[in-house]
Structure formats: structure tokens, C-alpha cells
Amino acid sequence: MAQPQQSDGADGTGAGKPPLRVGMVGYAFMGAAHSQGWRTAGRVFDLPMNPELAVVCGRDATAVRAAADRHGWTDTETDWRALVERDDVDLVDICTPGDSHAEIAVAALAAGKHVLCEKPLANTVAEAEAMVRAAEEARGRGRLAMVGFNYRRVPATALARRMVAEDRIGALRHVRVAYLQDWLVDPAFPLTWRLRREQAGSGSLGDLGAHIVDLAQYLAGERLAGVSALTETFVRQRPLPAAPAGGLTAVGSAGTGEVTVDDAALFTGRFASGALASFEATRYATGRKNALRIELNGERGSLAFDLERLNELSYHDATEPAAHAGFRRILVTEPDHPYLDAWWPPGHGLGYEHTFVHQARDLVHAVAEGRAPEPSFADGLQVQRVLAAVEDSARKNSVYTPIAA
């Protein structure tokens, strides 16, 4: 691959550093979020390589050019196959619906690119397995693959992980997780791709459940052994969309079509250590906008986080005298907290988009250091196996279903 030694720093950052030339497939909601991550990471963090927004790909030439101009990409392609073969792309970032993740990732790794793939890793376990095989093979050639579970990179969740690893809550007993949104409450919301099994793989389960399974396992530092689940589709027919819609807003047209995914998933799980977990993923929690809530209860303390208050982490230290123990709020805005030494003066908070900047930062470091990034494709496959076990259990009316190793 043609590999310039130094970035020209044309965008005002990174001059003299080796470039990491990114080619991104898809430019809707996630594409916009990833663009912001790539654009900002090198301006905030002192990175060992300079990410360059080289090429963005979408099927409609006019629309993709407009997206490129809006988000700061230099060039465009209308066929992802052309993008993955380009000599001036080092890393392929996949921001498409799940049905194309496997094909693009496998081709990109075979073409010698590093890969970042949005969650869930794939639509099926078989696809995810093929992606892991491709990633392992590419690793031998020095190419790296990562899946985009961005909520690991909220400073407060990263701090929670650090505190669990420092043994501040002791042996884990409970993990209680919910991811609650309400953008599907209106039955007139059209049948966009997130509601079609052939494109999205599953509904709330893959969209939101994948996040909370990953986050719960990441914070706990261990994996689920099995699950019992219920799923439901509340609204089975919806208006067809008037135009393709990538984000969470869309306009309907005359006809209707069938919703082929779950609207909500509710499941309990058992961790390998014996700790118990509960999970709820829904887009029908009226009034809840982006409420990813997680609480961990250990023998010696508890931690709690809510994405709707993402600069805060609650901590109860049960070893303190009962008279003044109790949950206290840690404002996660200080330079000692993960990622925060590079941002604003102490006390000035961050938001949703910063998780994508941190994701880009961490991946650039991994590439520069030749170190396997996390979460890996193998981590993404394991989450996929949990999702498959949830669907299996729900089909059998909540029969306990072990997670395949």
C-alpha cells in the first residue's frame, strides 16, 4: 500500500505525524458521529498518528458529496468495493446497517485495511464468526479490527470500570441494566431499516441490547453464562417510509408493511461468577430519551450510571460507617478522570459525541502501537452469541439458555 510518511497537516493538525487515512462507508446518524470523532480526536488529544478523513462512501453520488462537504471528507465513492481497494485508505470505518457489516469488513481486512465496525458486529452469529476469522488472519499481517461499542468511552463508565478493577465494590452480586428510548411510541413512525429483520438483524435487542450486554460485561469484567428472555413486538404494521431514512426521524407514505423485529427485549442473566443480571431494551419507554442505566452491587459497594446524566457516576462505599455512608455523586469532569485531561478546565462536562472522539483516539493509539484494540471482533461475536441466546430463549417462552462458548 502506498504509505506517505508524514501527514501534510493540511487541516491545521498533525503535521509531521504519520497519517491514518480513513475511508468511511455510510454517512447517516452513525456516519456523522464517527466523522466528528475522526475530525476532532487529533485536535484534542496528542495522537501518535494523524487521522485524515480521506474518503466517504454512499450509493447516491450527489448525497454522498453533500455529506462529504458537511462532515469534512476529501473524496467520495459510490461503491464500497472501490473504497476498500483504494491505496490511499488505511482504515475502513463501517457505519452501515448490520446486513452489510460482514461483507465489507471481510473484504476490507483482506485488502489490508484496519477496520472499525459499528455495533452490533453483525446480524447473525455465523457472520460474526466469519468476521472474527478474517480479523485473526489479518492480525498476522499487522491489521487490526475493533467494534464500536462507544459507551465504554464515556468518562464515567470508564471510571466505573477502573473502580471495579480496583476492587472498590468487592465481589459482584447484581448488575441491573436498562436502555430506554421512546422514539417508536408513535404507531405512525414509519417502517425504517431498524424495523426490518433482513437489514437490522433484530430490533431493540440488537440496537440497544447489544450496548447494554457489552457494557455490563465490560464493567463486571466477566461474561454471561446464560439468559432467560421475553421479547415483544407491540406495533406489527407501520407506514412505509416516504424516503430512505438513516437516523431516528422519518416521514411515512401511503402503504404499510410488517415490522419483523422485536420492539422490546427483557432478559435476566447469570454471570460466570454467579452474579445475577437483569436487562431491558426498549424504544417504547415513553418519556425516556436515551436512558442507558446501569447499576452494579458488590459486597462492599455499588456504582450507578445514567447516560441521561453522563457526567456523573454514583458510588456507595459500604465499608464506611453506616451513619454517613450512602450514594454520593462523583462529578466526572476532572483531569484525573479517564479522557478528561485533554478537554476543558475542571468541572466542564462532555456529551454523547465525545464518546466517538475517544473511540477514534483509542483506535489511533492501538494502530500506532500495533496493539489489538478493544472491544475486539471476538468481543463483538460474544455479544452476538448473547443476543442469539436471548432470541432462542424468548422463542421458548423464557427457557434458560446457556451462551455458547
Residue 122 per-residue DSSP state: -
Q: How many residues bind ligand SOE (CB under 6 A)?
A: 5
Could you give the strand order of the β-sheet that contains 264-271, starting from the edge strand earlier in sequence? 328-331, 312-317, 301-306, 291-298, 172-180, 276-282, 264-271, 224-232, 401-402
Residue 185 interacts with ligand SOE (CB under 6 A): yes or no: no
Pick the closer one to ligand SOE by CB: 94 or 138.
94
Residue 214 contacts residue 149 (beta carbons within 8 Å): yes
For ligand SOE, give the closer residue by CB, 54 or 147: 147
CA distance 351 to 143: 31
* Binding flag, residue 207, ligand SOE (CB under 6 A): yes
Count of CB atoms situated within 10 Å of the CB of 162: 12
Asked whether the beta carbons of 42 and 35 are under 8 A apart, the reply is: no
- Enclosing H/E stretch for 157: helix 155-165
The grid cell for 176 is 441491573
For the CB of residue 305, give the shortest distance to ligand SOE in the complex, in Å: 15
Closest distance to ligand SOE from the beta carbon of 207 (Å): 5
Q: How far is the CB of 65 from ligand SOE (least distance, A)?
A: 25
Site for ligand SOE contains 99 (CB under 6 A): no
C-beta of 76 vs 202, nearer to ligand SOE: 202
Does 235 contact ligand SOE by CB under 6 A?
no
Q: Does 181 bind ligand SOE (CB under 6 A)?
A: yes
Out of 44, 248, 291, 342, the residue judged to bind ligand SOE by CB under 6 A: 248
C-alpha separations of 399 from 30, 90, 205, 223, 390 in Å? 35, 45, 17, 19, 10
Nearest approach in angstroms of CB 25 to ligand SOE is 16
> Minimum CB separation from ligand SOE for residue 183, in Å?
7
Task: Show the site string, 124-163: x = touches ligand SOE by CB under 6 A, - = not.
Answer: ----------------------------------------
Residue type for 197, please?
R
Residue with the closest Cβ to ligand SOE?
A: 207
Residue of 338, 362, 368, 334 lying closest to 348 (CA atoms): 334
Smallest gap from Cβ 360 to ligand SOE, in A, equals 16
CB of 126 vs ligand SOE, minimal distance in Å: 22
* 8 A C-beta contact, residue 356 and residue 37: yes
- Summarize as ranges the residues that interact with ligand SOE (CB under 6 A): 29, 181, 207-208, 248
